[in-house]
Amino acid sequence: MTTDAPLLARMKADIDAGIALCRDTCEYFSVCGGGEPVNKLFENGSFATAETTYCRMTKMRVTDLVLDRLEQMPDIIESREATLPSGSASPVGKTVGHELVAEEGIHFGERE
Ligand code: SF4
């Protein structure tokens, strides 16, 4: 019986090298963790690589989009509140002036 241990060990070393390269070079590493080795192999020809089209489309752009939306949230909330008449209902309460007041029966803490 033959063993593929040397090949698998080399493959693991290349995958680890690719993850280390991602850690050292990519600002999205905390979100992604080093990507998908198969995409690195298919797109770049080696596991010991970093950026791929796959990661640009599924990690980087998505992260940018979510962060952009989070940065816009105060503006979005403010503009929605500005369009609601005072006292109108919202999913969590009603607006009184510029403040959102919880409706009765909505519990933000532990229920009794
Ligand atoms: S987004 Fe791409 S380059 Fe960045 S850590 Fe993930 S796989 Fe590596």
Q: What is the pLDDT of residues 47-87, one digit of tens each?
A: 999 999 999 999 999 999 999 988 888 877 778 777 777 66
Each residue's pLDDT tens digit, 23-54: 999 999 999 999 999 999 999 999 999 999 99
For ligand 1, pick from 58, 60, 67 the residue to mutate: most ligand atoms within 8 Å of CB: 60
Q: Evaluate whether residue 105 is within a structural domain.
A: no
As given in the structure block, the two tokens for residue 48 are 């010991």
* 64 in any annotated domain: yes
* pTM confidence score: 0.66
With CA atoms as reference, report the closest residue to 51 among 28, 71, 74, 85.
28
Q: What is the amino acid identity at position 72?
A: Q
Distance in Å, CA 101 to ligand 1 centroid: 43
Query: How far apart (Å, rounded) are the C-alpha atoms in residues 79 and 76?
Result: 5
d(CA 56, ligand 1 centre) in Å? 8
What tokens were used for 45?
A: 């020809």
Tokens at residue 54, please? 């796959």
The SS3 assignment for 4 reads coil
Look at the chain and report how many structural domains it folds into: 1
